Structure 1
Amino acid sequence: MSAPAGRVEAKLAELGLKLPEVTPPLAAYVPAVRTGRYVYTSGQVPLVDGSLPVAGKVGSEVSPEQAKELAAVCALNALAAVKSVAGDLDRIARVVKVVGFVASAPHFTGQPGVVNGASELLGTVLGDAGVHARSAVGVSVLPIDAPVEVEIQVELRD
């Protein structure tokens, strides 16, 4: 039996979102690691029910708008990974850092706008605790041909 949903999960529900099950790793790693008051997630691709809804490069096969939505899915998957080691998302004191990787067509330069999908979701769900430092990086390819991948680091309350 799972623990009752807290404030953060209630906010997700209000937005019509549900925290997914943690996606099993695609290689030799774990979805998240806790050290002291910090949780570091592995990169999360936008899997929905175990499948990638769209594949390819942003700026060619995938529109920036689609990629922004997929970045929000990555952030939701990252929150699930955080919960898997923290036990309760209400323990998040703040999101410290977000790193977003965007599989980009050669001339696509809108990576920050794509990663805004993750940043905006975290801000909406966590309020001031969701405001963070961030990097948005264009790359040539990501695992399973995902258009975007996001990792987060959070600080927990005692």
Structure 2
Amino acid sequence: MSPQEKLESLGLELPPAPKPAGVYKPVVVVGNLAYVSGHGPLQPNKTLMTGRLGLNLDVEVGYEAAKLAGLGILMSVQNHFGSINKIKRVIKLLGLVQCVDGFPDSPAVINGCSELLRDVFGEENGIGARSAIGTNSLPAGMAVEVEAIFELND
């Protein structure tokens, strides 16, 4: 099953493509790698999921926010290439979690994106290297921001 077919079989829909909120490109290709800029948790109503983990959001809500960020990443890839099938494998994710000082569960939050990509691209190609970092501030107050590096199919 192709990644696009797998996404559909999971009953997942890609959100509208986010517009850059600054001076950057959503996707930059160098050789056979696609670098995808940071994406926030864009909800179906086109608003960002905002809040601070450990204050007014719990891990389950943060997990869903990271999953939304992952869907946004896939939409940007689809917009750039015409299909998410262009992705061969996940190389690296960087997940940032807006949280209170001492919040220990950033990895559990970013699992929302990691597990989405695993489910779409499979165990072998959907899991890459990853960092999950807590921070005291993210743009527009969004709960999480995730960026990705993908290897591309020839």
Aligned sequence identity (%): 39
Counterparts of residues 18-37 of structure 1 (less than 5 Å):
18-37=13-32
Ranges in structure 2 where 5+ consecutive residues have no aligned partner: none
Match of 2:151 among 143, 148, 155: 155
Counterparts of residues 1-158 of structure 1 (less than 5 Å):
7-49=2-44, 50-52=46-48, 54-127=49-122, 128-158=124-154
Query: What displacement does 1:101 show?
Result: 0.1
Partners of 1:87 and 1:38 lie apart in 2 by 16
Partners of 1:32 and 1:80 lie apart in 2 by 11
Partners of 2:132 and 2:103 lie apart in 1 by 13
8 Å contact kept, 1:92–1:154: yes
Partners of 1:95 and 1:86 lie apart in 2 by 16
Ranges in structure 1 where 5+ consecutive residues have no aligned partner: 1-5
8 Å contact kept, 1:9–1:19: no
Give TM-score scaled by structure 2 length: 0.93
Partners of 1:129 and 1:110 lie apart in 2 by 25
**What count of residue pairs does the alignment treat as equivalent?**
152
Partners of 1:17 and 1:88 lie apart in 2 by 15
Query: What displacement does 1:87 show?
Result: 2.6
SS at match of 1:153: strand
Deviation string 1:81-133 (CA, Å, 9 cap, x unpaired) is 12222332112111000000000112311101101111000000100211100
Deviation string 1:20-56 (CA, Å, 9 cap, x unpaired) is 231101111121111221111110000124212x321
Q: Which runs of 4+ in 1 moved over 6 A?
A: none
Give TM-score scaled by structure 1 length: 0.91
SS at match of 2:85: helix
SS at match of 2:38: coil
Query: What displacement does 1:75 show?
Result: 0.7
Query: What displacement does 1:14 show?
Result: 1.5
